[in-house]
Each structure stands twice: as structure tokens, then as C-alpha cells.
Structure 1
Amino acid sequence: MAAGPLELWNHRSMQILVLLSLGLQLVLLVFAGIRRREALAVLGAGYILYKHIALAGGKDGKLLRRASFLMFVLGVVKYGERTWALKCSTLESIGTSVDTKPPAIHNHFHPQDEVTDEECHLRRAHSLFHICKRAIVDSSVVEEDSGLDEHTSKHSRRAIDGVELWTLMEIELSLMYDVLYTKAAVVHTFLGYLIRFISPLTAAASLVLFQLTPKDGHDRADVAITYVLLGGAVFMETTSLLNALASSWTFAFLSTTRWQWLRYTALCNKRWDKLRRADVWLHDLVKGRVAGNSRYKSRRWSYTIGQYNLLHFCTRPADTPLTSPLLGRLARALAPDEWWNRNHYSATVEMSGEIKICVAKYMGGLLGRGKFNTGMVRKKWGEDPLQSRGLYHKGILKDSLSLEFHEGIIIWHIATEVFLTKSERAKCVDAAPSVHGVRVLSDYMMFLLVERPYMLPGQPQKSFSRVAEREELANNLYDEYQNREYDELAPRLIYMARLAKELLEKERDGTTDSLELVLEVWMDFLIYASHKCSRESHAQKLNSGGELTTIVWLMAEHMYQAFVAEKYDMV
């Protein structure tokens, strides 16, 4: 009895592994979106056919050799396509394609009467995707050379006016993810579609050839496994073809094809729309989606941003064997305290629509005043909010802008907490949205400093926890350090207290609305960080869900293009 499984493995190990591979690939095909690994199943079917050839001769062997050869060639093509996709997914290759292809490759917007808002957003994102591609490779976008038609230009400007702009940016970043981390850039080309059409025909031809071959003398288990593999290959290749044809990338391909008859047949007659709707319905059915649960949410940013509050960290209870969870003690035993502090005391929060609108309006104001263009911030972080209020002169407010960026985040973060604690304006009910926005952005920038320092300009801090040399609440910090000139042990706290005191004094004497000033400074922090982050960091973060700074950076690129288009219309 004990030898049964071992004997089965010795005689059927290859067949078992190939069947297991096929099963896993079917799971990926159904539940993992664009991730597909059909090449291994194709080669597996070819291998099993090859084993039959050794036992066959004459005419029977000839049919098997043909079937095996077809599957082998198909497998080689699949692996070659994957290698080609890896080559095309680098930033260098994307930059080359931007320079060699006409900028208007995705500049055709086709309004459809029966599409949903989600479909409309997806198609609009494709129509503006050339801006994202140029931005990710740090290539300047010159609007007068982009060939925008009148309809697209009007749409670009209209998208700025609402939260729709955020939706478009999220979808565009998902499209960039497709280009960088999937085979979309290869599949949705003429050669890619040709491979998709030929693949199921080749697999089906191999299945027919195997069916015509007499099975006398062949092991029944091998014959059954071969049928399963060939049938699975036909199913997967057919599904891959239908998914490719119904993809939104096919809409972009058809919109820019030189074959007018194909565009008319597929788009103008709405044949592609019918295929698309059928594909969406089938995906929703397979994945059990209900009404209102959009399939496009998986393509977007999660709407959540990280949060890290230093005062919350500093006022944490001391860890003892009685208060620290067992898992926490184990983690601290296996990892440095700094790693534990970063991850255990971080959190996430959903970004509200009010903050989105506020950030978009502030960016529009900066653009209108000429503070940045084509992704380049023209002034230092925090300078514009002070200048617009006449506060950019000697004093702690200006001095706080001369600090290194990481230092500025720490000082403004603590000063913000102190200011919100002692401010009377911040306690008003009507100030709640602004207070919420200030806290969210302040904690988010601190989160980037602690968890994602590579997303910020400047040199990362060696140890974030050194600023936390006190375990006092905001009031105690303010009372302790507001009148000190310098403290060797905590120079940042001196800066913090003086900055908070200045903000409170400006609020009390009515010089300015300090709460709105602090909010604009944090929005300036966010915009500055998004523009100074390297393109490589933006691209790498897409693989793990994206970051708010990436969306803000891309939004600035689009807003600048719409601004230039409107300016040219006025000339």
C-alpha cells in the first residue's frame, strides 16, 4: 500500500505536473485578470504528444509528429512573445516608442450613446494616455505638436472641473501598469492580434490530428491526459483571443488604425461594443459581481493613503510583557525596533472627495499663476502660500522653508499638531473639513518620510525616531520650547514651537487664516514631492498599487496640457 503513491509518482510524475500546471493556469485565467501562463500548458501538451511519437510508426506517427510540431511551434511563439513583452516594458523602450510613433496614437475619442460612465472614463483615459507615456519617460509634451482634435481638447479642459479628473488619472495609471507589468504593449499590436488568432486554430488542429490517430497500443491514461491538455489549450487560447478583442486596448488600437474599413466595421457599426458588453457580462458572471460592484475598481488606486503621526507614536504606552501582544514581542525579537515602530504604528485612511477637490483647485491656481509647467515646480515648497499672503519675509515662516525637505516635513508635522491643538479656529464646526484635510496630508507626508523615503526628494533620514526624544503631548511641547532660542538636544522642537507660535499669533491678530495657510503649505509639500520624485520610483510603485504622489504628478501634467490648449484657443 505504501508503495502505491510512490510508484504512481515514478511512472506519472510528468503527467501529474503538467495537469497541475494546467489547473493552476485555468485558475489564473479566471481570477487573475490579465496574468496568463498558457505557454507552459502548450509546451506540456507538445511534450505528451512527443511521448506518443516514440510508440507510433508509419502514418500514425506522421500525424502525431505534425500535432507535436504544431504545439511545439506555438509554445516557442508564446515564450518569444513573453520575451518581447519584457523588452517593450522598459522605460527606455517606452521612450523610444514615444519618439518614433506619432503623438496622436491615442488621441481619438469616440463618444458612444450606450456606454456606461465607467466605459466612457476608460475610453477617455485611452484618448489622453499619450500624456502619461511621455511623462513617465520624462519627455516634454509640446501641445502644439500633439495633433489634438477640437473635441479632445475640449474634453481635456472639461475633465479638470470635477472629481472626474481623479478618476481619469487612476485609470491612466492602471493603463501604464498594463504597459510596464503585463503584455498589453505586445498583445495589442497587429502581430499580437495575429498570434491570438492563430493560436486557437493551431491548438484545435493539433487536437484534430490527435483525434484522427489510432489509439491502439497507447496507454489509456496518457491518451486521456493528452485530450485534457489539448482541450485545455484550445479553451485557454480561445479565451485569450476573446479577452484581447474585448479589451479596452483594442478600442484604442481600432481608433488609430490606418485601415478605415476596419474602424468603420468595428466601431461605427458598434460591433465591438456588443463584444465588449458580452465580455463584461461574462466576467461579472464568472466572478460573481453584483449590481453596483464595478469591475473597474480593480484597475484603480485604492483611494487609501498611509498615515503616520509622530505624537501618536511618542505617546504610545511602554511595551511590557503584559501589554505587548505576543505577535508584537515576537516581531520585535526578530526585527529591529525601528522596523517594528514604522510598521506597527502606521495606518491608512480613505481620501475624501473634499480633499481631492481642494488639491485639484490649488493645483489649478498654481498653474494659472505660472508656478509650474510640464511637471517642473518653479519655486520652493511652501513659498507660494506665504507669498500670496504677504508673509514671505524674514521670520520663522520663511526660515522654515530653508530647511532640507525631510527636516521641513518633521518640523511642520509637529508644529501642525501643536497648532491644531491650541487653535480656536480649528475647533469651529465649519473648520472641520479643513482640519481633516490638514491632518490627513500632514500624516501622509510623514508616512512617506517613514515608510517611502525613496518617493521623496533629498537624502533619507538615517533614523526617524530621533526626533521623538520627548514623550509629551502637544501642549507640553509648546509650553516647554516656545521661548527657547536653541536646544542642542532638540533643535527641531525649537523650530516647531516658534513656528506654531507664529501661526497662532497670525490667527489671533487676524493677519491671515492660519488654518488655510497650513492646509496650503501641506498641499505644496504634496505637489513638490510628487514632482521631485524620480520617474523610476513612480513606475516601481505602480506594481504595488500606486501612490497619491504619482496621481498628483500625472494630474499636473494633464492640467498643464489643458491650460496650454485653452491658451492657444484664445490666441
Structure 2
Amino acid sequence: MHTVPGYVLRGVCTSLILASLLLFVFTNKHNYDRVDICITYALLSGAAGLDIVALTMLLVSDLAVISITTRLIQLGKKDENSIVSRFLEKIQSSKNPKWSESMSQYNLIDFCLNKRPAYVNLTVRILGVPDVLDHFLCTSYELVDTSLKHFIFTELKRKSKSANDSKSIKMLCSCRGSWVLEDRGYQNQLGWSVDSEFDESLLLWHIATDICYNYKSEVNGEGANHANTAQPDYRKMSRHISDYMLYLLVVQPSMMSSMAGIGLIRYRDTCAEAKIFFPRQKSKDKLIKARRMLREVDIGVDPKYVKGDRSKSVLFDAVKLAKQLDELPNKWMIIGEVWVELLSYSASHCRGNAHAARLSKGGELLMFVWFLMVHLGLGEQFCIEAGHASAKLIVDK
């Protein structure tokens, strides 16, 4: 379509439809029924309108603008002050940015405490759209700021230094937090939380991150000192990546389908257990009380004896993880690095057609992380076995 024959064919088709409309306008129509004439006008006008819109979108598309600009450069006629250059620049500036540079947020505990009125539950049950309403009401958005971009880039760049051959690349791409924990010396203490299935690890770390984030003692802890230091706000970034990953698991399961396993079942079981555990109250500080109740759970008892074998809930396992994380002197840096590794694992294992589907809607942070990984030599799909070579962008800062 985005070739010279394609443009010509589209132009010819549009011209023929317009010619048909004009011929019908000036043709003697006294022998035809008025209703038939009106229907014909409507059909020809609609076809002409649609074709004109399609032709316009084709001519001002990104590929068309790039093709024209490239052709002008090849011919040596690219002048910034020329009418064509200014017109192309105006087209590009008038378009909305493809990616909003925001990340969707979805929090499990907030969802469990968000009680809908009975009449709303009845209505959505009749309409058969409870999940759609939950996704709409419980999804928020956060800006992907410069500090978060820099943090993700720094972590992936640090990881890429170990990508020396195809074997090491495959190993790094398969890590879901274990590489970070091994590198920081916490594998023996926390390795159990990332050695399970991907969706289980994601839910474990999501709930644990949420509990740690909302703990009141953070006011005097690591998370409160960032306002007076130049250190990255690992606490805030960890929370944002955590809620974004749960959004992908729950609201965009197509992007997690190749790795999530029984993720939605585990998520629903965890939500069901949380709703039973949390008291039914309408107080303003119910969110704080809920997190406090979780922190007070006795982790001396194995959660499987509390929930049973059939439930896939990870609620109390996450409490255990949160308490272990609290013992770390640099817990928010560790939590943030684990989340970046979970994010990069998701990006590299997400199916290509899922990335492409989101690209048509403006893009997704996960997709840009995937692109960055490929540039840094962490693209498992592009490993070359012979000679152990891989594409790698060398970046020095």
C-alpha cells in the first residue's frame, strides 16, 4: 500500500467513485423512483466520503511522510524552508503523540476494598459486564517520568554487560528476579519468591510491595528521605511498576498469555481470600487498616494449612515476603530491581502479535522495554548461534 503503485491505485479508485457520483448527478433521472434516487445518492456519497478520508489518511500517514522526506533527501531537494518541508512538518506537529508516556495502574488490595453498591452489582450481573466495569473503575494512570525511564535503562544496561553469548542471553532473558537477588546476595533468603511460576511471583511481589509501601513507619524510613537526597525514589518507582504489571495480568491478559499460566485463577482466589479477610467497613482509613491487618498476620503458620490445597491464593505468602523485605537495609532498591527484571521478562516473552496490537493503539511501556532490550543485546529472538554474536548497542554515559 505504501508504494508508488499503491498511492496511484488509491487515487484512481477515489477518482472513479467521484466520477460515478458526478455522472449520476448530471444524468437524467426522471424515469427513476425518488426513493431509489435518494438511496443511490446516499451510497455514492458515502463511498466517496470514505475513499477521500482513506486517501487523506494514506497521504499524511507516518510512512508516507517518511517516504517523501527520504525521497527528497535522495534527490538533494530537502530544504527546511521549502513549502513541502514546512507542510510535512506541520502534518507531523498536528498529530497527537502516539504514546501518552503513561502507564496504567491496577492495585489488588484497592480493588478488594472497593465495594460496589448492591444495585450496581445486580445491574452489571444482568448485563454480563462485571469485569469490564471493574477494569474501568479500578484503573488509573501514572506518568512514566524521566527518573523511571533512567532506572529501567540503567538496570537493563547493567544486565547487558553479562550478555556475552547466546547461552548467557537466554539465561538472562529467563530470569524473573533471581539474577538480581543472586547479584545482591539475597538469593538464599528471598529466592523462594521468584522460583515459583511467573504469575505467582508477580502476585507475591505485588502484594508485598503494596504492604511495604503503605507501612506507616515509612515516614521515618528509606522512602521519606528522597526529598532531601539525590537518590532515586525506588519506593515510588517500585509501586508504579508493580501496579502496572498487575494491570497487564488482569486487564491485558493477551500480553501475558504466553507466561501467565493460571494467573487469572490465582488472582481471583487471592481476591476472594482478601475480601473474606478484610472487615466490611466504610471508614475513610479502611485502606490503612487493611494493610495494618495484613502486617499483623502470624507467618509462623504455613499459609497452605490456612487456605487449604485447592485455593491458589498467595495473600499470606505475600505477607511473609513483605516481612522478609522489611529486614533488608536497602529493601526499596532491591524491590525496584526485581520489578525491572520481572518487567523485562514479560517484555521478552510477550508474543510479537500482542506487541503489534498495542502498537496500533499508541504503544505500551512493555513494548518499549522490549525494543530497548534488543538494542542492548538482550533480545533472545535475535541471538545468532554461529559465532555467538548478537545485536548490541554500545552506550556510554
TM-score by length of 1: 0.52
Change in CA separation of 1:344 and 1:489 when aligned onto 2, cut-off 3 Å: farther
Matched, 1:398 2:212: no
Change in CA separation of 1:271 and 1:302 when aligned onto 2, cut-off 3 Å: closer
Matched, 1:428 2:237: no
Matched, 1:495 2:312: no
Q: What residue is the counterpart of 2:284 in the other structure?
A: none
Deviations 1:350-403 (A, max 9, x none): 3323212221222222223328979954342112221221222x23x1111111
The match for 2:268 among 438, 441, 465 is 465
Deviations 1:318-369 (A, max 9, x none): x5xxxx2754542244437666555543333333232122212222222233
Output aligned runs, 1:190-201, within 5 Å: 190-199=4-13
Output aligned runs, 1:136-285, within 5 Å: 186=1, 188-199=2-13, 202=16, 215=28, 244-254=58-68, 264-265=74-75, 268-270=77-79, 274-275=83-84, 277-278=86-87, 281=90
Mapped partners of 1:336, 1:363: distance in 2: 39
Change in CA separation of 1:549 and 1:370 when aligned onto 2, cut-off 3 Å: same
The match for 1:447 among 229, 232, 247 is 247
Mapped partners of 1:235, 1:316: distance in 2: 47
Deviations 1:99-141 (A, max 9, x none): xxxxxxxxxxxxxxxxxxxxxxxxxxxxxxxxxxxxxxxxxxx
Contact 1:302/1:545 (CA < 8 Å) preserved in 2? yes
Letter in 1 for 2:99: W
State the SS of the aligned residue for 1:378: helix
Matched, 1:413 2:214: no
State the SS of the aligned residue for 2:104: strand
Q: What residue is the counterpart of 2:293 in the other structure?
A: 476
Mapped partners of 1:547, 1:464: distance in 2: 22
Deviation at 1:536, TM superposition (A): 2.3
The match for 1:304 among 96, 102, 127 is 102
Mapped partners of 1:232, 1:332: distance in 2: 39
Change in CA separation of 1:219 and 1:334 when aligned onto 2, cut-off 3 Å: closer
Output aligned runs, 1:5-404, within 5 Å: 186=1, 188-199=2-13, 202=16, 215=28, 244-254=58-68, 264-265=74-75, 268-270=77-79, 274-275=83-84, 277-278=86-87, 281=90, 294-298=93-97, 300-317=98-115, 319=116, 324=117, 326-335=119-128, 341-370=134-163, 377-392=172-187, 394-395=188-189, 397-404=190-197
Letter in 1 for 2:183: S
Q: What residue is the counterpart of 1:505 in the other structure?
A: 327
Letter in 2 for 1:194: V
> Is there any run of 5+ residues in structure 1 with no aligned partner, and where?
1-185, 285-293, 508-512
Change in CA separation of 1:375 and 1:334 when aligned onto 2, cut-off 3 Å: farther
Deviation at 1:231, TM superposition (A): 9.1
Deviation at 1:268, TM superposition (A): 2.1
Contact 2:169/2:378 (CA < 8 Å) preserved in 1? no
Name the % identity: 24
Letter in 2 for 1:529: S
Change in CA separation of 1:225 and 1:378 when aligned onto 2, cut-off 3 Å: closer
Q: What residue is the counterpart of 2:365 in the other structure?
A: 548
Contact 2:79/2:85 (CA < 8 Å) preserved in 1? no
Change in CA separation of 1:268 and 1:504 when aligned onto 2, cut-off 3 Å: same
Q: What residue is the counterpart of 1:57 in the other structure?
A: none
Mapped partners of 1:279, 1:493: distance in 2: 54
CA RMSD in angstroms comes to 4.2
Higher-Rg structure is 1
> Is there any run of 5+ residues in structure 2 with no aligned partner, and where?
279-288, 308-312, 380-389
With a CA cutoff of 8 Å and minimum separation of 6, indicate the structure with the bigger relative contact order: 2
Q: What residue is the counterpart of 2:336 in the other structure?
A: 519
Mapped partners of 2:48, 2:124: distance in 1: 48
Mapped partners of 1:557, 1:244: distance in 2: 30
Contact 1:372/1:378 (CA < 8 Å) preserved in 2? no
Letter in 1 for 2:260: G
State the SS of the aligned residue for 1:302: coil
Change in CA separation of 1:535 and 1:375 when aligned onto 2, cut-off 3 Å: farther
Letter in 1 for 2:139: S
Q: What residue is the counterpart of 2:345 in the other structure?
A: 528
Contact 1:381/1:401 (CA < 8 Å) preserved in 2? yes
Deviation at 1:310, TM superposition (A): 2.0
Contact 1:203/1:234 (CA < 8 Å) preserved in 2? yes
Mapped partners of 1:538, 1:375: distance in 2: 21
Mapped partners of 2:165, 2:95: distance in 1: 32
TM-score by length of 2: 0.71
Change in CA separation of 1:332 and 1:195 when aligned onto 2, cut-off 3 Å: same
Relative to its length, the structure with more helix (as a share) is: 1
Mapped partners of 2:205, 2:164: distance in 1: 22
Deviation at 1:264, TM superposition (A): 4.7
Mapped partners of 1:440, 1:307: distance in 2: 7
Mapped partners of 1:485, 1:353: distance in 2: 42
Change in CA separation of 1:189 and 1:333 when aligned onto 2, cut-off 3 Å: same
Deviation at 1:312, TM superposition (A): 1.7
Deviation at 1:412, TM superposition (A): 0.9
